Structure 1
Amino acid sequence: MNKLGLIIKREYLAKVRNKSFVIMTFLSPVLMVGMIVLIAYLTEINDREVRVLGVLNESVYYSKDFTSTESMSFVQFEDVTLEQAKDSVISQNFYGLLYLPGGGSPEEVARGALLYTKEAPNSGVVDRIDLIFMDRLRQQRLLDLGVTPAEFASIDTDFQLKTETFEGERNLKGLNELKAFIGGGFGYLIMMFIIIYGGFVM
């Protein structure tokens, strides 16, 4: 039994004093942080890419709703069939084609709208198009209820609650989320330390 204790102690000290253990103990968190930074950087580059979408609108609605932004550009197709629009989008290497069929109301057109892409579309693109439809449908529903565009503009204004401490100090927005992110990051690093250390000891 004493020999077993000596063997365990010897193996433990041999692993802990190993240069590779010391290097990996400090290098692993750095590599992990570097991977996170690299992923965030690549995601940011992908988000900054300007995506061009063709729009084939066969209805009398949404003619002025799809306006280009810094990250998304819309090209209108007129007097072409759906198949011709698809071929044009593919040949010009556009990101996708948004098809709006004819309909008797904005609701009907929105339900029949379809986005064609080469592969699964980016969630930011889908969210942007969804927001355009939702804003337009909200306006139409309010108009149907007798609300004028000016009244709608006065209703649809942003609001942000101001917060202060009891001492009168203004609280910063998103500070708690930042604290949670930092705490989670350090917790993850601690977990990695334990996993790496336990793996070397075993």
Structure 2
Amino acid sequence: MANHLLAGLFGLVVAILIALLTSFLQQRNWRNQALVKEYDRERESAISLISELSSLLHKRIYRQKRYLWATQSPNNNQADIDEYRSTLLEWNDKLGEISVRLEYSFGKEASLELERNFQQELASINSIIYGVQIGKSSPQSLHGLETRLNTLTGLSNILIEKFLLRIRLMRFASFSGRGEISFQNRSNLSHFYLFRRLLGMTQK
């Protein structure tokens, strides 16, 4: 009689453990599927962002170069000047939004890099050209500006390639630190979480 009772209890425990394991595996599968979908959405958003940034940045540099050439030319090609002004308006309209999206997807340093390495340099070059345009500066001050713009073209290619590599490696700021054990992520300090992490059952 006792043996039958023990066998029944053992069977019940096994059944409960199987049910718990099945439930855990099912929930883990659902979480993994949700995470994959989240990564896919972030990837599509980042690709759209970098495509827009690449187009806008290269356009700004090229139009600014034509603005420089028009200023250097005796004919002072008004069409190139007007096209540059239109591009400048587009750049200024979209720069704030792009900076915010860069920070969200790739971190604060990404938006700061755009500001420091590109916006400030482009604004500096624009100020020099405009000074010559209105007669406040000597045409001699235009020397070297084309080289600076060519340098920006090279740097922009490096910047875009870096962001595309981060997209390929799925290195997004919005996904960083999920498996960290810290005060900011203190939910990861629970005994249950630490036990699951020890068994390799947590998302990092």
Normalising by structure 2, we get a TM-score of 0.32
Q: Which has the higher helix share?
A: 2
Q: Which has the higher strand share?
A: 1
Normalising by structure 1, we get a TM-score of 0.32
Select the structure with the greater relative contact order (CA < 8 A; seq sep ≥ 6). Answer: 2
